[in-house]
């Protein structure tokens, strides 16, 4: 069965058209565009006309690609920015009109489960005792602990690279005071996660989504963005933490000059790096050093959405 999945987040909208063979996805077309749907949502709780226009234009292009490639079933999932927006109905109506399907505005728990399913589909190591998958997005970050039996515990937090850039990291580069204020809230979020997800008990850490994969590209010093080298890369936690610090301290001009940096991430990757640095370091402490490496996955909620389509009647 040929399926089409769209993941519409706070920063980007992504399309996956794939053939499904008994739960194994074979990519036909995979694409990402930065539309910044969540621009200003953290402060106003509303989607702007400009952000809606960018997102609708991308959706129209995706609809044409879906028709061209003959996808039999389509699923559109919207996450953090749309959950927070008081005028989300304008978005829902606009997507339905352009795509012909009802967009799903999923809960944080659903988002967490989809992210785990996507990562688990291509990383056999997640069948080991207890893995933690962290989906670091633009408006939210999901923490999901699970194994071959599925999700054991998960939670979504209201921290993400767009949200924290708009809330804290306003200078270029960020000031020490801005970083300290953001770090305090990140630590508070991680402490809240502990009430639901047994972080101290996990045996491995997997990071997904654009901030994590971009940080991995920095850690690997890649000459360009290479999904093949990033996916499945297992790097020492210390190496990831150094890469995060480097990106956080750079000016936007310096980030823009990096050969692997997507233009739509230049202004927000500092906040993503700060969140990821804090999560990786805190997990090392909580596990008494047992989790001392980080795995990056290019497969995430988008793959989880596509896999979910194949199970529908």
Query: Mean pLDDT across the stretch 200-229?
Result: 96
Q: Given this model, what pLDDT does residue 297 score?
A: 93
Per-residue pLDDT of 71-125, as tens digits, reads 999 999 999 899 999 999 999 999 999 999 999 999 988 999 999 888 888 776 6
Per-residue pLDDT of 178-206, as tens digits, reads 999 999 999 999 999 999 999 999 999 99
Query: Mean pLDDT across the stretch 286-294?
Result: 96
pLDDT at residue 127 above 80?
Answer: no
Per-residue pLDDT of 133-180, as tens digits, reads 999 999 999 999 998 888 899 999 999 999 999 999 999 999 999 999
The 3-class secondary structure across the chain, one letter per residue, is CEEEEEEECCCEEEEEEEEEECCEEEEEEEEEEECCCCCCHHHHCCCCHHHHHHHHHHHHHHHHHHHHHCCCEEEEEECHHHHHCCCHHHHHHHHHHHHCCCCEECCHHHHHHHHHHHHHCCCHHHHCCCEEEEEECCCCEEEEEEECCEEEEEEEECCCHHHHHHHCCCCCCCCHHHHHHHHHHHHHHHHHHCCCCCHHHCCEEEEECHHHHHHHHHHHCCCCCCHHHHCCCEEEHHHHHHHHHHHHHCCHHHHHCCCCCCHHHCCCHHHHHHHHHHHHHHHHHHCCCCCCEEEEECCCHHHHHHHHHHCCC
Q: Given this model, what pLDDT does residue 313 score?
A: 43
Query: Mean pLDDT across the stretch 286-297?
Result: 95
pLDDT at residue 264 above 70?
Answer: yes
pLDDT at residue 44 above 90?
Answer: yes
Average confidence score pLDDT of the chain: 94
Q: Taking the model in full, what pTM does it have?
A: 0.92
């Amino acid at each position: 069965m040929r399926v089409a999945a769209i993941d519409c987040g706070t920063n980007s909208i992504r399309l996956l058209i794939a053939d499904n063979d008994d739960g194994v996805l074979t990519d036909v077309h995979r694409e990402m565009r930065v539309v910044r749907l969540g621009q200003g949502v953290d402060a106003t709780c509303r989607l702007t006309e400009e952000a809606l226009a960018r997102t609708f234009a991308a959706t129209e292009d995706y609809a044409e690609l879906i028709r061209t490639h003959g996808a039999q079933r389509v699923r559109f999932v919207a996450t953090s920015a749309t959950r927070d927006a008081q005028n989300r109905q304008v978005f829902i109506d606009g997507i339905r009109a352009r795509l012909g399907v009802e967009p799903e505005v999923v809960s944080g728990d659903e988002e967490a489960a989809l992210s785990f399913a996507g990562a688990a589909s291509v990383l056999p190591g997640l069948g080991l005792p207890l893995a933690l998958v962290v989906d670091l997005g633009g408006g939210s970050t999901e923490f999901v602990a699970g194994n071959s039996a599925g999700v054991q515990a998960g939670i979504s937090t209201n921290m993400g690279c767009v949200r924290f850039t708009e809330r804290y990291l306003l200078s270029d580069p960020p000031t020490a005071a801005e970083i300290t204020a953001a770090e305090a809230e990140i630590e508070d979020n991680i402490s809240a996660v502990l009430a639901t997800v047994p972080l101290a008990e996990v045996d491995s850490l997997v990071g997904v989504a654009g901030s994590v994969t971009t940080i991995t590209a920095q850690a690997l010093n890649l000459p360009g963005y290479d999904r093949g080298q990033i996916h499945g890369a297992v790097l020492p936690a210390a190496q990831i933490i150094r890469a995060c610090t480097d990106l956080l301290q750079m000016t936007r001009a310096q980030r823009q000059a990096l050969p692997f940096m997507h233009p739509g991430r230049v202004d927000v990757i500092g906040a993503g790096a700060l969140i990821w640095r804090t999560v990786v370091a805190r997990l090392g402490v909580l596990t008494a050093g047992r989790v001392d490496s980080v795995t990056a996955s290019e497969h995430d909620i988008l793959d989880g959405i596509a896999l979910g389509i194949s199970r529908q009647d």
